[in-house]
Amino acid sequence: MKTETAKCSECGVASLFETITLAGGHHGPILLPGLGKWAFLGLPQFGLANFRVVSCEACGLTRFNADADARAKLPTAKQWRRI
């Protein structure tokens, strides 16, 4: 069975690459506060949530998507509000 290659929503080229990375670092902000593994203990710096990062080789468009575990915590995380 042949699968279709994903195409970039910006330029239409089928040259996307992905990786999984932490949503924060030692020298930068925590980008998904309250959504990590230890958020329930009030320790946002431990067990940071993950991003799935997809980048287009052709045009450079890069998107960050919060992982499913982090998204599931959004409705109850005190650091986030519905808009």
Q: Please name which of 31, 45, 33, 29 lies closest in space to residue 77, comparing C-alpha atoms.
A: 33
Kindly state the helix (H) or strand (E) to which residue 68 belongs, with its residue range: helix 68-73
| Among the listed residues 74, 22, 63, the one whose alpha carbon sits nearest the alpha carbon of residue 45 | 22
Supply the pTM of this predicted model: 0.73
Could you tell me the two tokens for 6? Answer: 């994903």
Sequence spans of domains, the chain: 16-73
* Spatial separation of the C-alpha atoms in residues 14 and 50, rounded to whole Å: 25
Q: pLDDT tens digits for the chain (83 residues)?
A: 555 789 999 999 999 999 999 888 777 788 888 888 765 555 555 578 889 999 999 999 999 999 999 999 999 999 999 99
